[in-house]
Structure 1
Amino acid sequence: MGGIVPIGESGSTGVLPATSTELSRLLTAVRRGRVVTVTGGFREPRSLLVREMARRLASNFCDGVAVVSMDPLLGFLGIRELAAELGFPSCGPANAASWLAERDMLLVLDGAEQLAPQARTWLRELLGVAPGLRILAAGRQPLGFGQERVHHL
């Protein structure tokens, strides 16, 4: 079994809450699958892990990585708020879907338990029209999407 993996950011002294073997499996799952969710009771370890995975995988996606960090103090994120976080404040969710349909990118949802049900439905629809879209989520519970792989911390 692999050892604990140090965080790759300069100035950081922390370690990831995963062994090198687990991290390798997770990175492969994100590259090959459509949806991977890291679950667990504590936000900080989940967040550290998905952000480090996103950093390591950024070069694997032609259009890079988009990170949406959701604050539990601000309540649930609906479709419009999620579209705005993705950089589509004026064109709205429908145009965001058509733009994403042509992209090869990783969408990281940190704090996914803050997604409103309509936003989850919209993300499911996006996966149907955007074959190059991958989702890496961190939350207390899985997203509940088909073909989702779940890693519990």
Structure 2
Amino acid sequence: MGGIVPMRDAGRTGTLPATSDELSRLLTVVRRGRVLTVTGRFREPRSRLVREIARRLSSNFCDGAAVVAIGRPFGVRELTAALGCVPGMPFLPYGTADAVSWLAERDMLLVLDGAEHLAPEALAWLRRLLTAAPGLRILASGRSPLAFEGERVHRL
């Protein structure tokens, strides 16, 4: 299971696994940095937190926030296919070279919920994408950090 999750289905039930001060700091980290990963042992609290951050920050980006739910192994093909299904965005061209050039022009927050399922080639592709796309921010949830340059990590 994996794919794009509309922002209105952000799972806003229950309490967030962060204090209001922590949430405020995390919102600032996403606004000012390029990559934030929320790590922890359990998926549900990580997911709730990154989706709430995305909901609050979506309007800060010209192209909004795209939430990709990753529940199985994801390579580059699966990742670009999921991005091609982002509601409200034009069709993403098939093929990684076209996807990079298309995404390089976006000002958006890319949320990778379940990043522990990303294959090494997908992680390498995302690193290249960050270099090519100055308006892109990545907010990930996973069991461990992505190990990207400049990545900030929040442990639950």
- When normalised by structure 2's length, the TM-score is 0.87
Q: Which moved more, 1:61-70 or 1:88-97?
A: 88-97
Contact 1:84–1:92, Cα closer than 8 Å, also in 2: no
Aligned to 2:4: none
Aligned to 2:56: 56
Aligned: 1:86 with 2:86: no
CA distance in 2, matches of 1:42, 1:82: 23
Paired residues for 1:99-138 under 5 Å = 99-138=102-141
Which runs of 5 or more residues in structure 1 are unaligned? 1-8
After TM superposition, the runs of 4+ consecutive aligned structure 1 residues lying more than 6 A away are none
Q: 1:44 to 1:134 in 2, by over 3 A?
A: same
- Amino acid in structure 2 at the alignment position of 1:104: D
- Amino acid in structure 2 at the alignment position of 1:120: L
CA distance in 1, matches of 2:119, 2:137: 19
Structure 1 residue 10 displacement after superposition: 10
Contact 2:92–2:99, Cα closer than 8 Å, also in 1: no
Aligned to 2:143: 140
Aligned: 1:77 with 2:77: no
- Amino acid in structure 2 at the alignment position of 1:26: L
Aligned residue pairs total 143
Which runs of 5 or more residues in structure 2 are unaligned? 1-8, 85-90
Contact 2:37–2:151, Cα closer than 8 Å, also in 1: yes
Structure 1 residue 39 displacement after superposition: 0.2
Cα RMSD after superposing both structures = 1.9
User: Alignment partner of 1:97: what SS?
Assistant: helix
Identity %: 72
Contact 1:36–1:149, Cα closer than 8 Å, also in 2: yes
CA distance in 2, matches of 1:132, 1:28: 16
Aligned to 1:44: 44
- Amino acid in structure 1 at the alignment position of 2:112: L
The CA deviation string for residues 59-108 of structure 1, in whole angstroms up to 9 with x for no partner, is 0000011111011xx3x100011000000675221111001111100000
